[in-house]
Amino acid sequence: MKPLLPWLALGAAVLTTLPALAAENLNGDDQWVLRFGAATVHPDSNPGHLAGMKAKVDSSTRPSIDLEYLLTPNWGIDVLGAVPFRHEVRLNGSKAATTKQLPPTVGVNYHFVPTSQVSPFLGLGINYTHFYDSKGKGILDGAHVKLDDSWGVAARAGVDFKLNDRWLLTADVRWIRIRTDVKVGGTKVGNAHIDPMVYGFSAGYRF
* Residues in CB range of 129: below 8 A, 6 or more apart: 101, 102, 103, 149, 150, 152, 176, 178, 180
Say how far apart CA 33 and CA 52 lie, in whole Å.
46
pTM of the model: 0.84
80: β partners: 66, 105
* Residue spans per domain, the chain: 2-15+31-206
CATH class of 2-15+31-206: mainly beta
103-114 residue pLDDT tens: 999 999 999 999
Task: Read off the pLDDT of each residue in 156-177 and give the average, rounded to a whole number.
Answer: 97
Task: Read off the pLDDT of each residue in 119-138 and give the average, rounded to a whole number.
Answer: 96
User: What does the pLDDT read at residue 6?
Assistant: 47
- DSSP per position, 4-18: GHHHHHHHHHHHHHH
